[in-house]
Amino acid sequence: AMRCEAIARETVLDASEMFTTSRTCHDAPVKIAHLEFGRHNYGGAAQVRYLLDAMRDGDHEHVLVTPESSALQQWSARKGQAHLALRYAGEHDLFAVLRLARWLRRESIDLVHVHSRRGADWLGPLACAFARCPALAHAWTLPARGCH
C-alpha cells in the first residue's frame, strides 16, 4: 500500500499542449527506486552516483536498481546504498518486466525514476504499469546531423 496519497509531480510535454498533475506527500518518507541499466561506471551511471550521493542525508529512501554484475552494483555495495541487482538479459527481456513489477509491489515503492535507455526506458514504465506505481522517465537525444 502506498504511504502517501500521491507523491509525484509529472509533466508531459506534447507538441501542442502541456499536461501537469501535481500531488503532494504527507509526513511519511517516499521510497524511490532509481533504474540505471548501463553496465559501466561513466555517463548516465556517473550521474546516478552523484544524485544518490547528494540525496544520501535526505528524508526519503532511495533504492538503486541495476542489472547484475554492473559497475553500479559494485559501487552500491561499497557505499552501503540500498540496491536490487536485477536479472536482466538485455533490452528484449520481457521476464525482467515481471520480475521488476513483483519487486516494486513487494517493496512498496512509491515512485520509480528511470535514468537510462538500455531497455530501462520501456521496461521501467511497463513494470510500473503492472505494479500500479508512478514512473518518472526522461530521455536525452542528440540532434540529427545538420540540424540546429
Query: Is the Cβ–Cβ distance between 96 and 89 less than 8 Å?
Result: yes
| Residue 8 reports pLDDT greater than 60 | no
Distance of CA 44 to the CA centre of its chain: 12
Query: Is the Cβ–Cβ distance between 23 and 9 less than 8 Å?
Result: yes
Query: Is the Cβ–Cβ distance between 99 and 21 less than 8 Å?
Result: no
For 50-84, what is each residue's pLDDT tens digit?
A: 999 999 888 899 999 999 989 999 999 999 999 99
Residue 2 to residue 132: CA distance in whole angstroms: 10
Query: Is the Cβ–Cβ distance between 135 and 124 less than 8 Å?
Result: yes
Q: How many CB atoms lie within 10 A of CB 28?
A: 13
Residue 52 to residue 115: CA distance in whole angstroms: 12
pTM above 0.85, yes or no: no
